[in-house]
Chain A
Protein backbone atom coordinates (compact mmCIF):
# COMPACT_ATOMS: atom_id res chain seq x y z
CA UNK A 1 0.00 0.00 0.00
CA UNK A 2 2.13 2.86 -1.29
CA UNK A 3 1.12 6.45 -1.57
CA UNK A 4 2.81 9.47 -3.07
CA UNK A 5 0.68 11.92 -1.17
CA UNK A 6 3.06 13.67 1.28
CA UNK A 7 0.50 14.06 4.07
CA UNK A 8 -0.43 10.37 3.81
CA UNK A 9 3.20 9.35 3.94
CA UNK A 10 3.72 11.57 6.95
CA UNK A 11 0.68 10.18 8.75
CA UNK A 12 1.95 6.66 8.06
CA UNK A 13 5.34 7.41 9.59
CA UNK A 14 3.67 8.63 12.74
CA UNK A 15 1.24 5.72 12.74
CA UNK A 16 4.10 3.26 12.31
CA UNK A 17 6.02 4.74 15.25
CA UNK A 18 2.96 4.39 17.45
CA UNK A 19 2.01 0.89 16.31
CA UNK A 20 5.46 -0.62 16.63
CA UNK A 21 6.22 0.98 19.98
CA UNK A 22 2.76 0.04 21.26
CA UNK A 23 3.31 -3.54 20.11
CA UNK A 24 6.63 -3.79 21.94
CA UNK A 25 5.02 -2.43 25.12
CA UNK A 26 2.11 -4.82 24.82
CA UNK A 27 4.54 -7.75 24.92
CA UNK A 28 4.96 -6.98 28.63
CA UNK A 29 1.41 -7.84 29.64
CA UNK A 30 1.69 -10.75 32.12
CA UNK A 31 5.49 -10.32 32.21
CA UNK A 32 5.97 -7.13 34.23
CA UNK A 33 7.90 -7.06 37.53
CA UNK A 34 4.63 -6.72 39.48
CA UNK A 35 0.93 -6.54 38.79
CA UNK A 36 0.60 -2.75 38.84
CA UNK A 37 3.16 -2.59 36.05
CA UNK A 38 1.25 -5.11 33.93
CA UNK A 39 -1.58 -2.62 34.08
CA UNK A 40 0.51 0.52 33.61
CA UNK A 41 2.53 -0.82 30.68
CA UNK A 42 -0.70 -2.07 29.15
CA UNK A 43 -2.17 1.36 29.56
CA UNK A 44 0.68 3.08 27.76
CA UNK A 45 0.64 0.39 25.05
CA UNK A 46 -3.06 0.98 24.56
CA UNK A 47 -2.49 4.72 24.15
CA UNK A 48 0.01 4.06 21.38
CA UNK A 49 -2.19 1.54 19.58
CA UNK A 50 -4.99 4.09 19.79
CA UNK A 51 -2.72 6.76 18.37
CA UNK A 52 -1.63 4.46 15.53
CA UNK A 53 -5.25 3.87 14.63
CA UNK A 54 -5.97 7.60 14.39
CA UNK A 55 -3.04 8.19 12.04
CA UNK A 56 -3.86 5.12 9.94
CA UNK A 57 -7.54 6.00 9.73
CA UNK A 58 -6.64 9.42 8.44
CA UNK A 59 -4.20 7.93 5.92
CA UNK A 60 -6.86 5.39 4.85
CA UNK A 61 -9.38 8.14 4.22
CA UNK A 62 -6.89 10.03 2.10
CA UNK A 63 -6.04 6.95 0.06
CA UNK A 64 -9.66 5.80 -0.29
CA UNK A 65 -10.70 2.76 -2.32
CA UNK A 66 -11.54 0.39 0.52
CA UNK A 67 -8.23 0.85 2.32
CA UNK A 68 -8.59 0.72 6.11
CA UNK A 69 -6.37 1.16 9.14
CA UNK A 70 -5.78 -2.59 9.06
CA UNK A 71 -4.50 -2.50 5.48
CA UNK A 72 -1.54 -0.48 6.71
CA UNK A 73 -0.90 -2.50 9.86
CA UNK A 74 -1.36 -5.97 8.44
CA UNK A 75 -0.53 -6.06 4.75
CA UNK A 76 2.64 -4.05 4.34
CA UNK A 77 6.04 -5.70 4.49
CA UNK A 78 9.13 -4.52 6.35
CA UNK A 79 10.37 -2.22 3.58
CA UNK A 80 7.11 -0.28 3.60
CA UNK A 81 7.19 0.40 7.34
CA UNK A 82 8.71 3.77 8.12
CA UNK A 83 8.91 3.79 11.93
CA UNK A 84 11.95 4.96 13.87
CA UNK A 85 14.40 2.17 14.66
CA UNK A 86 14.19 3.14 18.32
CA UNK A 87 10.58 1.92 18.39
CA UNK A 88 11.25 -1.54 16.97
CA UNK A 89 14.19 -2.70 19.12
CA UNK A 90 13.24 -5.80 21.13
CA UNK A 91 11.89 -5.00 24.57
CA UNK A 92 14.98 -6.17 26.47
CA UNK A 93 14.76 -6.03 30.25
CA UNK A 94 12.61 -3.61 32.22
CA UNK A 95 15.40 -1.02 32.26
CA UNK A 96 15.73 -1.17 28.48
CA UNK A 97 12.00 -0.80 27.93
CA UNK A 98 11.71 2.13 30.33
CA UNK A 99 14.83 3.87 29.03
CA UNK A 100 13.58 3.58 25.47
CA UNK A 101 10.22 4.87 26.62
CA UNK A 102 11.74 7.80 28.44
CA UNK A 103 13.95 8.79 25.50
CA UNK A 104 10.92 8.61 23.22
CA UNK A 105 8.51 10.32 25.63
CA UNK A 106 10.92 13.21 26.11
CA UNK A 107 10.63 13.68 22.35
CA UNK A 108 6.96 12.80 22.00
CA UNK A 109 5.66 15.48 24.37
CA UNK A 110 7.11 18.50 22.55
CA UNK A 111 6.38 16.74 19.26
CA UNK A 112 2.67 16.28 19.94
CA UNK A 113 2.45 19.81 21.32
CA UNK A 114 3.87 21.10 18.05
CA UNK A 115 1.72 18.78 15.96
CA UNK A 116 -1.35 20.20 17.68
CA UNK A 117 -0.51 23.43 15.81
CA UNK A 118 -0.29 21.73 12.40
CA UNK A 119 -1.92 23.47 9.44
CA UNK A 120 -3.54 20.10 8.70
CA UNK A 121 -6.57 20.06 10.97
CA UNK A 122 -6.75 16.27 11.31
CA UNK A 123 -3.11 15.96 12.29
CA UNK A 124 -3.58 18.87 14.66
CA UNK A 125 -6.52 17.13 16.31
CA UNK A 126 -4.59 13.89 16.75
CA UNK A 127 -1.67 15.86 18.17
CA UNK A 128 -3.92 17.68 20.62
CA UNK A 129 -5.39 14.41 21.84
CA UNK A 130 -1.96 12.83 22.20
CA UNK A 131 -0.48 15.72 24.22
CA UNK A 132 -2.31 14.74 27.38
CA UNK A 133 -1.24 11.12 27.13
CA UNK A 134 2.32 12.11 26.31
CA UNK A 135 2.54 14.29 29.38
CA UNK A 136 1.48 11.38 31.55
CA UNK A 137 3.81 8.97 29.75
CA UNK A 138 6.79 11.26 30.26
CA UNK A 139 6.05 11.78 33.93
CA UNK A 140 5.82 8.04 34.39
CA UNK A 141 8.94 7.04 32.45
CA UNK A 142 10.95 9.88 33.97
CA UNK A 143 10.03 8.70 37.47
CA UNK A 144 11.14 5.20 36.58
CA UNK A 145 14.50 6.37 35.24
CA UNK A 146 15.14 8.23 38.48
CA UNK A 147 14.02 5.26 40.54
CA UNK A 148 16.16 2.77 38.64
CA UNK A 149 19.16 5.05 38.25
CA UNK A 150 19.12 6.04 41.89
CA UNK A 151 18.00 2.65 43.21
CA UNK A 152 20.36 -0.27 43.73
CA UNK A 153 23.74 -0.90 42.19
CA UNK A 154 22.15 -3.44 39.86
CA UNK A 155 19.33 -1.19 38.70
CA UNK A 156 21.81 1.63 38.12
CA UNK A 157 24.05 -0.62 36.07
CA UNK A 158 21.18 -2.00 33.98
CA UNK A 159 19.79 1.47 33.39
CA UNK A 160 23.14 2.92 32.36
CA UNK A 161 23.75 0.01 30.03
CA UNK A 162 20.34 0.39 28.40
CA UNK A 163 20.92 4.11 27.96
CA UNK A 164 24.30 3.51 26.34
CA UNK A 165 22.82 0.95 23.95
CA UNK A 166 19.87 3.12 23.01
CA UNK A 167 21.69 6.38 22.55
CA UNK A 168 22.77 5.87 18.94
CA UNK A 169 19.12 5.45 17.91
CA UNK A 170 17.98 8.78 19.33
CA UNK A 171 19.41 11.00 16.58
CA UNK A 172 16.91 9.60 14.08
CA UNK A 173 14.08 11.36 15.89
CA UNK A 174 15.49 14.71 14.84
CA UNK A 175 16.47 13.91 11.27
CA UNK A 176 14.74 15.63 8.45
CA UNK A 177 14.43 14.68 4.82
CA UNK A 178 12.77 15.99 1.70
CA UNK A 179 9.28 14.99 2.84
CA UNK A 180 9.66 16.74 6.18
CA UNK A 181 11.16 19.86 4.61
CA UNK A 182 8.31 20.07 2.17
CA UNK A 183 5.64 19.63 4.84
CA UNK A 184 7.36 21.92 7.33
CA UNK A 185 7.28 24.64 4.68
CA UNK A 186 3.50 24.14 4.45
CA UNK A 187 3.13 24.26 8.22
CA UNK A 188 1.90 20.65 8.25
CA UNK A 189 4.81 18.71 9.70
CA UNK A 190 6.74 19.33 12.91
CA UNK A 191 10.29 20.56 12.45
CA UNK A 192 11.88 18.01 14.75
CA UNK A 193 15.31 19.59 14.47
CA UNK A 194 13.89 22.39 16.59
CA UNK A 195 12.83 19.98 19.31
CA UNK A 196 16.31 18.73 19.96
CA UNK A 197 17.22 21.37 22.50
CA UNK A 198 14.11 20.79 24.54
CA UNK A 199 14.75 17.02 24.42
CA UNK A 200 18.35 17.40 25.57
CA UNK A 201 17.24 19.55 28.49
CA UNK A 202 14.65 17.02 29.67
CA UNK A 203 17.09 14.14 29.27
CA UNK A 204 19.99 15.90 30.99
CA UNK A 205 17.88 17.00 33.93
CA UNK A 206 16.49 13.48 34.38
CA UNK A 207 19.83 11.74 34.09
CA UNK A 208 21.25 14.10 36.68
CA UNK A 209 18.43 13.29 39.09
CA UNK A 210 18.93 9.59 38.34
CA UNK A 211 22.72 9.79 38.92
CA UNK A 212 23.22 8.39 35.40
CA UNK A 213 25.95 9.47 32.99
CA UNK A 214 24.92 10.95 29.64
CA UNK A 215 26.29 8.64 26.93
CA UNK A 216 29.07 10.08 24.84
CA UNK A 217 28.43 8.15 21.61
CA UNK A 218 28.17 10.57 18.73
CA UNK A 219 27.32 8.16 15.93
CA UNK A 220 23.71 7.84 14.84
CA UNK A 221 22.08 4.81 13.31
CA UNK A 222 19.05 5.54 11.18
CA UNK A 223 17.12 4.26 8.19
CA UNK A 224 13.64 3.55 9.48
CA UNK A 225 12.05 6.38 7.55
CA UNK A 226 13.46 4.84 4.35
CA UNK A 227 12.31 1.35 5.23
CA UNK A 228 15.78 0.19 6.24
CA UNK A 229 15.23 -1.58 9.54
CA UNK A 230 16.91 -3.88 11.99
CA UNK A 231 16.32 -7.61 11.50
CA UNK A 232 13.96 -7.53 14.46
CA UNK A 233 11.13 -5.75 12.68
CA UNK A 234 10.49 -8.68 10.34
CA UNK A 235 9.88 -11.00 13.28
CA UNK A 236 7.64 -8.47 14.97
CA UNK A 237 5.55 -8.21 11.79
CA UNK A 238 5.45 -12.00 11.39
CA UNK A 239 3.70 -12.17 14.73
CA UNK A 240 1.59 -9.03 14.35
CA UNK A 241 0.37 -9.98 10.87
CA UNK A 242 -0.02 -13.73 11.35
CA UNK A 243 -3.82 -13.85 11.14
CA UNK A 244 -4.18 -11.58 8.13
CA UNK A 245 -1.45 -13.48 6.31
CA UNK A 246 -2.77 -16.95 7.17
CA UNK A 247 -6.39 -16.06 6.43
CA UNK A 248 -6.32 -13.14 4.01
CA UNK A 249 -9.30 -10.98 3.25
CA UNK A 250 -11.61 -12.03 6.10
CA UNK A 251 -13.48 -10.00 8.69
CA UNK A 252 -12.63 -10.70 12.32
Chain B
Protein backbone atom coordinates (compact mmCIF):
# COMPACT_ATOMS: atom_id res chain seq x y z
CA UNK B 1 0.00 0.00 0.00
CA UNK B 2 1.16 3.49 -0.78
CA UNK B 3 2.32 4.99 2.50
CA UNK B 4 1.45 8.51 1.45
CA UNK B 5 -2.23 7.69 1.54
CA UNK B 6 -2.04 6.92 5.23
CA UNK B 7 -0.51 10.28 6.08
CA UNK B 8 -2.73 13.13 7.10
CA UNK B 9 -2.63 15.53 4.22
CA UNK B 10 -1.21 18.88 5.11
CA UNK B 11 1.27 21.51 4.22
CA UNK B 12 4.13 19.72 5.93
CA UNK B 13 3.62 16.45 4.13
CA UNK B 14 3.16 18.35 0.92
CA UNK B 15 6.42 20.25 1.36
CA UNK B 16 8.19 16.99 2.20
CA UNK B 17 7.04 15.53 -1.10
CA UNK B 18 8.23 18.63 -2.94
CA UNK B 19 11.58 18.49 -1.18
CA UNK B 20 11.93 14.84 -2.19
CA UNK B 21 11.43 15.92 -5.84
CA UNK B 22 8.17 14.02 -6.14
CA UNK B 23 5.78 15.23 -8.80
CA UNK B 24 2.40 16.50 -7.64
CA UNK B 25 -0.43 15.07 -9.72
CA UNK B 26 -3.94 16.49 -10.28
CA UNK B 27 -5.72 14.29 -7.74
CA UNK B 28 -3.13 14.78 -5.00
CA UNK B 29 -3.85 17.07 -2.11
CA UNK B 30 -2.23 20.49 -2.52
CA UNK B 31 -2.40 23.78 -0.65
CA UNK B 32 -4.98 26.11 -2.15
CA UNK B 33 -2.30 28.74 -2.69
CA UNK B 34 -0.17 26.27 -4.62
CA UNK B 35 -3.16 25.54 -6.82
CA UNK B 36 -3.91 29.21 -7.38
CA UNK B 37 -0.28 30.02 -8.00
CA UNK B 38 -0.10 27.30 -10.64
CA UNK B 39 -3.33 28.38 -12.29
CA UNK B 40 -1.92 31.88 -12.50
CA UNK B 41 1.41 30.80 -13.93
CA UNK B 42 0.29 28.08 -16.36
CA UNK B 43 -2.65 30.05 -17.69
CA UNK B 44 -0.44 33.10 -18.17
CA UNK B 45 1.87 30.86 -20.13
CA UNK B 46 -1.06 29.47 -22.17
CA UNK B 47 -2.40 32.95 -22.92
CA UNK B 48 1.07 34.02 -24.02
CA UNK B 49 1.20 31.26 -26.60
CA UNK B 50 -2.23 32.23 -27.89
CA UNK B 51 -1.68 36.00 -27.97
CA UNK B 52 1.74 35.31 -29.47
CA UNK B 53 -0.04 33.98 -32.56
CA UNK B 54 -0.91 37.58 -33.43
CA UNK B 55 2.42 39.37 -33.98
CA UNK B 56 3.67 36.37 -35.95
CA UNK B 57 0.39 35.63 -37.66
CA UNK B 58 0.56 39.18 -38.98
CA UNK B 59 3.27 38.04 -41.36
CA UNK B 60 1.80 34.75 -42.52
CA UNK B 61 -0.03 36.52 -45.32
CA UNK B 62 3.02 38.67 -46.15
CA UNK B 63 5.93 36.22 -45.79
CA UNK B 64 8.56 36.87 -48.47
CA UNK B 65 8.74 33.36 -49.95
CA UNK B 66 6.58 30.27 -50.06
CA UNK B 67 9.08 28.36 -47.97
CA UNK B 68 9.13 31.04 -45.28
CA UNK B 69 5.36 31.19 -45.39
CA UNK B 70 5.01 27.44 -44.85
CA UNK B 71 7.54 27.46 -41.99
CA UNK B 72 5.86 30.39 -40.29
CA UNK B 73 2.46 28.76 -40.58
CA UNK B 74 3.80 25.59 -39.02
CA UNK B 75 5.36 27.61 -36.25
CA UNK B 76 2.24 29.60 -35.42
CA UNK B 77 0.31 26.38 -35.48
CA UNK B 78 2.76 24.92 -32.96
CA UNK B 79 2.24 27.94 -30.70
CA UNK B 80 -1.50 27.39 -30.80
CA UNK B 81 -0.84 23.74 -29.96
CA UNK B 82 1.27 24.79 -26.97
CA UNK B 83 -1.60 26.97 -25.83
CA UNK B 84 -3.82 23.94 -26.04
CA UNK B 85 -1.59 21.64 -23.92
CA UNK B 86 -1.19 24.39 -21.38
CA UNK B 87 -4.92 25.10 -21.12
CA UNK B 88 -5.39 21.37 -20.67
CA UNK B 89 -2.73 21.33 -17.94
CA UNK B 90 -4.47 24.26 -16.23
CA UNK B 91 -7.82 22.51 -16.45
CA UNK B 92 -6.44 19.65 -14.33
CA UNK B 93 -6.39 22.19 -11.49
CA UNK B 94 -10.16 22.53 -11.55
CA UNK B 95 -10.84 25.51 -13.78
CA UNK B 96 -12.43 25.53 -17.24
CA UNK B 97 -10.98 26.96 -20.41
CA UNK B 98 -13.98 29.27 -20.67
CA UNK B 99 -13.15 30.72 -17.24
CA UNK B 100 -9.51 31.12 -18.21
CA UNK B 101 -10.42 33.00 -21.38
CA UNK B 102 -12.78 35.14 -19.37
CA UNK B 103 -9.95 36.07 -17.01
CA UNK B 104 -7.80 36.97 -19.99
CA UNK B 105 -10.52 39.22 -21.33
CA UNK B 106 -11.16 40.99 -18.03
CA UNK B 107 -7.44 41.54 -17.50
CA UNK B 108 -7.40 39.40 -14.35
CA UNK B 109 -4.96 37.08 -16.07
CA UNK B 110 -1.87 38.32 -17.89
CA UNK B 111 0.15 37.15 -20.87
CA UNK B 112 3.78 37.76 -21.77
CA UNK B 113 4.16 41.49 -22.10
CA UNK B 114 6.49 41.16 -25.06
CA UNK B 115 3.58 40.42 -27.35
CA UNK B 116 2.37 43.96 -26.80
CA UNK B 117 5.09 45.16 -29.15
CA UNK B 118 4.32 45.34 -32.88
CA UNK B 119 5.95 43.21 -35.58
CA UNK B 120 6.68 45.98 -38.03
CA UNK B 121 8.99 44.35 -40.55
CA UNK B 122 9.85 40.85 -41.72
CA UNK B 123 13.01 41.01 -39.59
CA UNK B 124 10.76 41.11 -36.53
CA UNK B 125 9.72 37.56 -37.34
CA UNK B 126 13.41 36.66 -37.18
CA UNK B 127 13.91 38.56 -33.94
CA UNK B 128 10.85 37.04 -32.28
CA UNK B 129 11.89 33.51 -33.19
CA UNK B 130 15.48 34.06 -32.19
CA UNK B 131 15.14 36.17 -29.03
CA UNK B 132 11.65 35.60 -27.70
CA UNK B 133 11.74 31.87 -28.30
CA UNK B 134 15.29 31.67 -26.90
CA UNK B 135 14.14 33.43 -23.76
CA UNK B 136 11.14 31.12 -23.58
CA UNK B 137 13.37 28.07 -23.93
CA UNK B 138 15.74 29.19 -21.19
CA UNK B 139 12.77 29.59 -18.90
CA UNK B 140 10.96 26.46 -20.02
CA UNK B 141 13.93 24.12 -19.80
CA UNK B 142 14.09 24.99 -16.12
CA UNK B 143 10.35 24.29 -15.87
CA UNK B 144 10.76 20.74 -17.15
CA UNK B 145 11.56 19.99 -13.51
CA UNK B 146 8.68 21.96 -12.07
CA UNK B 147 6.86 20.20 -9.24
CA UNK B 148 3.47 19.90 -10.93
CA UNK B 149 3.42 16.79 -13.15
CA UNK B 150 1.14 17.92 -16.00
CA UNK B 151 3.02 21.23 -16.33
CA UNK B 152 6.41 19.54 -16.32
CA UNK B 153 5.32 17.07 -19.00
CA UNK B 154 3.86 19.82 -21.18
CA UNK B 155 7.19 21.65 -20.91
CA UNK B 156 9.17 18.68 -22.17
CA UNK B 157 7.09 18.53 -25.31
CA UNK B 158 7.01 22.28 -25.82
CA UNK B 159 10.78 22.69 -25.44
CA UNK B 160 11.42 20.33 -28.34
CA UNK B 161 9.32 22.44 -30.67
CA UNK B 162 10.63 25.75 -29.34
CA UNK B 163 14.18 24.87 -30.26
CA UNK B 164 13.06 24.44 -33.86
CA UNK B 165 11.38 27.84 -33.64
CA UNK B 166 14.48 29.45 -32.25
CA UNK B 167 16.56 28.06 -35.12
CA UNK B 168 14.13 29.32 -37.74
CA UNK B 169 14.23 32.80 -36.19
CA UNK B 170 18.01 32.87 -36.09
CA UNK B 171 18.10 31.56 -39.65
CA UNK B 172 15.96 34.49 -40.80
CA UNK B 173 18.35 36.92 -39.08
CA UNK B 174 21.38 35.19 -40.56
CA UNK B 175 19.89 35.32 -44.05
CA UNK B 176 19.20 39.03 -43.63
CA UNK B 177 22.73 39.69 -42.39
CA UNK B 178 24.09 37.88 -45.44
CA UNK B 179 21.89 39.98 -47.71
CA UNK B 180 21.85 43.60 -48.87
CA UNK B 181 22.47 46.68 -46.74
CA UNK B 182 18.71 47.25 -46.56
CA UNK B 183 18.27 43.76 -45.15
CA UNK B 184 21.10 44.16 -42.63
CA UNK B 185 19.59 47.45 -41.45
CA UNK B 186 16.23 45.77 -41.12
CA UNK B 187 17.76 43.03 -38.96
CA UNK B 188 19.65 45.50 -36.76
CA UNK B 189 16.55 47.64 -36.30
CA UNK B 190 14.60 44.57 -35.20
CA UNK B 191 17.29 43.64 -32.68
CA UNK B 192 17.32 47.22 -31.38
CA UNK B 193 13.59 47.06 -30.71
CA UNK B 194 13.34 43.50 -29.36
CA UNK B 195 16.46 43.26 -27.21
CA UNK B 196 15.32 45.04 -24.06
CA UNK B 197 11.77 43.68 -24.08
CA UNK B 198 13.35 40.20 -24.33
CA UNK B 199 15.38 40.83 -21.18
CA UNK B 200 12.21 42.00 -19.48
CA UNK B 201 10.55 38.68 -20.27
CA UNK B 202 12.31 37.15 -17.27
CA UNK B 203 10.43 39.46 -14.95
CA UNK B 204 11.59 41.78 -12.13
CA UNK B 205 14.88 41.33 -10.29
CA UNK B 206 14.81 38.52 -7.76
CA UNK B 207 14.43 40.85 -4.78
CA UNK B 208 11.37 42.50 -6.31
CA UNK B 209 9.48 39.59 -7.78
CA UNK B 210 6.07 39.28 -6.12
CA UNK B 211 5.62 35.52 -6.46
CA UNK B 212 9.18 34.27 -6.63
CA UNK B 213 10.08 33.18 -3.11
CA UNK B 214 7.04 30.97 -2.55
CA UNK B 215 7.21 29.61 -6.09
CA UNK B 216 10.82 28.58 -5.57
CA UNK B 217 9.99 26.89 -2.27
CA UNK B 218 7.23 24.90 -3.94
CA UNK B 219 9.50 24.24 -6.89
CA UNK B 220 6.99 25.69 -9.29
CA UNK B 221 9.90 27.86 -10.35
CA UNK B 222 13.29 26.20 -10.38
CA UNK B 223 15.66 29.04 -11.14
CA UNK B 224 15.53 32.75 -10.32
CA UNK B 225 14.61 35.47 -12.82
CA UNK B 226 18.08 37.01 -12.74
CA UNK B 227 19.78 33.68 -13.16
CA UNK B 228 17.74 32.83 -16.23
CA UNK B 229 18.17 36.32 -17.68
CA UNK B 230 21.95 36.04 -17.35
CA UNK B 231 21.99 32.72 -19.19
CA UNK B 232 19.92 34.25 -21.99
CA UNK B 233 22.21 37.28 -22.31
CA UNK B 234 25.32 35.11 -22.37
CA UNK B 235 24.07 33.02 -25.25
CA UNK B 236 22.28 35.74 -27.24
CA UNK B 237 25.24 38.13 -27.24
CA UNK B 238 27.46 35.50 -28.83
CA UNK B 239 24.79 34.62 -31.39
CA UNK B 240 24.40 38.30 -32.29
CA UNK B 241 28.13 38.79 -32.72
CA UNK B 242 28.45 35.65 -34.83
CA UNK B 243 26.33 37.21 -37.55
CA UNK B 244 27.48 40.81 -37.18
CA UNK B 245 24.61 42.27 -35.17
CA UNK B 246 25.31 44.85 -32.47
CA UNK B 247 23.49 44.43 -29.17
CA UNK B 248 22.00 47.85 -28.28
CA UNK B 249 23.60 48.15 -24.85
CA UNK B 250 26.62 50.44 -24.36
CA UNK B 251 27.30 48.87 -20.95
CA UNK B 252 27.55 45.37 -22.28
CA UNK B 253 30.92 43.76 -21.60
CA UNK B 254 32.42 40.42 -20.74
CA UNK B 255 33.28 40.06 -17.06
CA UNK B 256 36.16 37.64 -16.69
CA UNK B 257 35.79 37.31 -12.95
CA UNK B 258 32.11 36.37 -13.11
CA UNK B 259 32.42 34.42 -16.34
CA UNK B 260 29.36 36.25 -17.63
CA UNK B 261 28.42 39.33 -19.60
CA UNK B 262 27.63 42.42 -17.56
CA UNK B 263 24.76 44.36 -19.04
CA UNK B 264 23.11 47.74 -18.58
CA UNK B 265 20.13 48.67 -16.43
CA UNK B 266 16.71 47.56 -17.60
CA UNK B 267 14.11 50.31 -17.97
CA UNK B 268 11.62 49.03 -15.41
CA UNK B 269 9.35 51.99 -15.97
CA UNK B 270 8.76 50.80 -19.49
CA UNK B 271 8.20 47.28 -18.18
CA UNK B 272 5.56 48.56 -15.76
CA UNK B 273 3.94 50.70 -18.41
CA UNK B 274 3.56 47.82 -20.86
CA UNK B 275 2.49 45.31 -18.22
CA UNK B 276 -0.14 47.67 -16.89
CA UNK B 277 -1.75 47.94 -20.32
CA UNK B 278 -0.04 50.86 -22.01
CA UNK B 279 2.37 49.22 -24.42
CA UNK B 280 2.07 49.91 -28.15
CA UNK B 281 -0.37 47.05 -28.88
CA UNK B 282 -2.01 45.97 -25.61
CA UNK B 283 -5.44 47.15 -26.67
CA UNK B 284 -5.21 45.66 -30.14
CA UNK B 285 -4.03 42.27 -28.88
CA UNK B 286 -6.89 41.91 -26.44
CA UNK B 287 -9.45 43.39 -28.81
CA UNK B 288 -8.36 40.93 -31.51
CA UNK B 289 -8.78 37.97 -29.18
CA UNK B 290 -12.12 39.18 -27.84
CA UNK B 291 -13.41 39.77 -31.32
CA UNK B 292 -12.44 36.31 -32.59
CA UNK B 293 -14.00 34.80 -29.48
CA UNK B 294 -17.19 36.81 -29.86
CA UNK B 295 -17.48 36.11 -33.58
CA UNK B 296 -17.00 32.42 -32.93
CA UNK B 297 -19.70 32.20 -30.26
CA UNK B 298 -22.37 31.03 -32.67
CA UNK B 299 -20.05 28.29 -33.96
CA UNK B 300 -19.33 26.96 -30.48
CA UNK B 301 -23.02 27.07 -29.68
CA UNK B 302 -23.92 25.24 -32.89
CA UNK B 303 -21.36 22.58 -32.10
CA UNK B 304 -22.77 22.03 -28.62
CA UNK B 305 -26.36 21.87 -29.88
CA UNK B 306 -25.43 19.47 -32.64
CA UNK B 307 -23.61 17.21 -30.21
CA UNK B 308 -26.60 17.18 -27.91
CA UNK B 309 -28.86 16.23 -30.82
CA UNK B 310 -26.52 13.39 -31.74
CA UNK B 311 -26.47 12.11 -28.18
CA UNK B 312 -30.23 12.16 -28.06
CA UNK B 313 -30.64 10.28 -31.32
CA UNK B 314 -28.05 7.73 -30.24
CA UNK B 315 -29.99 7.18 -27.03
CA UNK B 316 -33.15 6.71 -29.07
CA UNK B 317 -31.45 4.01 -31.06
CA UNK B 318 -30.17 2.35 -27.90
Contact = CB atoms under 8 A, between A and B. Distances in A.
B19 to A, nearest CB: 36
Chain B's interface: helix, strand, loop or mixed, by majority?
helix
B292 A33 contact: yes
A38 B80 CA distance: 7
A129 to B, nearest CB: 15
B68 interface: yes
B60 A26 contact: yes
B57 A30 contact: yes
Contact of B84 (A19, A35, A46, A158): A35
B50 A35 contact: yes
A29 B57 contact: yes
Interface in A176-229: none
A53 B70 contact: yes
Given A53-B66, A70-B66, A240-B62, A29 B299 contact: no
Interface stretch (A104-112, A149-157, A164-172): A149-157
A31 B292 contact: yes
Interface in A110-153: 146-148, 150-152
B299 A244 contact: no
Interface string A49-61: 1101100100000
A244 B182 CA distance: 13
B70 A29 contact: no
Chain A CB count within 10 A is highest, among B62, B64, B74, for B64
Interface stretch (B32-40, B243-251, B271-279, B301-309): B301-309
A147 B54 contact: no
Q: Report the interface size class on chain B.
A: 35 or more
Contact of B296 (A33, A50, A240): A33
Interface string B4-19: 0000000000000000
B286 to A, nearest CB: 13
B50 to A, nearest CB: 7
B124 interface: no
Contacts of A50: 70
A26 B61 contact: yes
A152 B301 contact: yes
Given A147-B306, A242-B62, A244-B64, A152 B80 contact: no
Given A26-B60, A150-B309, A34 B300 contact: yes
A250 B298 contact: no
Contacts of A151: 301-303, 305-306
Chain B CB count within 10 A is highest, among A27, A52, A242, A252, for A252
A158 B80 contact: no
A150 B297 CA distance: 16
B70 A49 contact: yes
A113 to B, nearest CB: 24
Interface string A1-32: 00000000000000000010001001101111
A232 interface: no
A35 B69 CA distance: 20
A32 B77 CA distance: 12
A86 interface: no
Interface string A231-252: 0000000011011100100111
B122 interface: yes
A30 B288 contact: yes
A64 B301 CA distance: 52
A46 B71 CA distance: 9
B241 interface: no
A27 B57 CA distance: 8
A151 B297 CA distance: 13
Contacts of A154: 298, 301-302
Given A26-B61, A30-B288, A154-B298, A35 B83 contact: yes
14 contacts: A30-B50, A30-B288, A33-B292, A35-B80, A46-B77, A49-B66, A49-B70, A70-B65, A151-B302, A154-B298, A239-B61, A247-B182, A251-B178, A251-B179
Interface of B: 50, 53-54, 57, 60-70, 73-74, 76-77, 80-81, 83-84, 87, 122, 172, 175-176, 178-180, 182-183, 288-289, 292-293, 295-303, 305-306, 309
Given A42-B73, A251-B179, 14 more contacts: A23-B61, A26-B73, A29-B77, A33-B297, A35-B50, A35-B87, A45-B73, A52-B66, A94-B296, A240-B61, A242-B62, A243-B62, A243-B63, A250-B182
